[in-house]
Structure 1
Amino acid sequence: MQQVNLYLEEFRPQKNYFSAEFTAASVALLLVFLIGIQWLVSHSIKKVESSVIALENQKVATELQVEKLKSTPIGGSASQLDEEIAILKEEKSSREKLREIIEYQNLGNAEGFTAIMAALARQSIDVIALERIRVTGAGNMVELAGKTRTPKAVPVYLQALQSEQVLANAQFGLLRIEQPESQSQNIMAFAFGFSQVEGAKK
């Protein structure tokens, strides 16, 4: 029996790198690689295009918003702004001077007075600014006065106060709403129980 030593170079099987099978396999691998590269490039381009479109849409939306702001009066007319400022000043003043504007006589106990004030605070409305508060008869009589830019909100405010347990049986007196002498036409003075609406035209 003849033995062949495969470790010798001349007896090893030779690979033909230029054979049809090897060439076809190489071409197939190259095509797969190129297709993969093309897909990645195409995907990246689509992402960039989407980002560009989004930026363009955002730019258009911003320009439209700017144009809308330019064409829309800021907060309405100057007179409306003056009215808004006036009522805000009234509200701020009424809060800062709360101790000075509260008048009460013979309430009977501090706890009852605190409960009434807490009820007034819970039912506060932003369109109503209280300027005077007077509690008499151990809390059985409550008089209020102030200003508002929404007169129809005053009766609603009274109903809300009467829903409070501490004020359910209290008397608020006659409601009067009049126009103050030195205020805008849209700001009205009102009073529950006080003999005269403060600052109203005579």
Structure 2
Amino acid sequence: MSQQINLYNPRFRKKTNYVTLNTLAALSGVTLAVALAFGLSAQQRVAVAQAEADKVQRQMADAERRQKESAGKAPRQKDPQVAEQLAQAESDNRALQEVSGILEKGELGNTHGYSAYFSAFARSRVQGLWLTGVQIVGAGNEIGLQGRTLQAALLPGYLNGLAHEPVLKGKSFGQLEMNQAAQPSPAAAVASAPAPSAPAFVEFSLQAHQESSAVVKAEAR
């Protein structure tokens, strides 16, 4: 029986090795040459950039030196606007110092204002009684009240309410004046029914006297 051999079987083909030692050496040489070329190019660019930076630094140093020399030689001129602002600031500072001195000496009397007094008068209001004038002397050492009431009997309750106000503690209204307000006379000629007359009221004045100098007056109509 005859035996056949398949010569076309890929296993029996002659293999060719394309990657040889010489090829690897050549590729390595090319790669090294390319790397060296890129390295030299980068070094050249760095050197050029460093030279430019050094040049700019020298120019800046020269400009700064010339500026210092010019400032030392030429006298500096005053800016009128700056001088005016400085003078205004000094004037404001002197004014503030004067005000501070006055406040420390107490020459203004009551430096806290009079709002607490007016708030107390408003809280102590009584129906049928109203104020028409208020005088506060100095630091509240002397107080005067003028007003009107529909009934004189309302005054004691009003004074009692004022006595409970903290800002009026220790102050006594020792003087009281009252008088009946004059009623307006009716018109001379009245053809029909007379106009209704206004309700009668009593005018009063309360005073709490103490030594003082300055007067603050507020009137309400």
The normalised TM-score by structure 1 is 0.39
Query: Which structure carries more relative contact order (alpha carbon 8 Å, separation 6+)?
Result: 2
Structure number with higher helix proportion: 1
Structure showing greater radius of gyration is 2
TM-score between both structures, scaled by the size of structure 2: 0.36
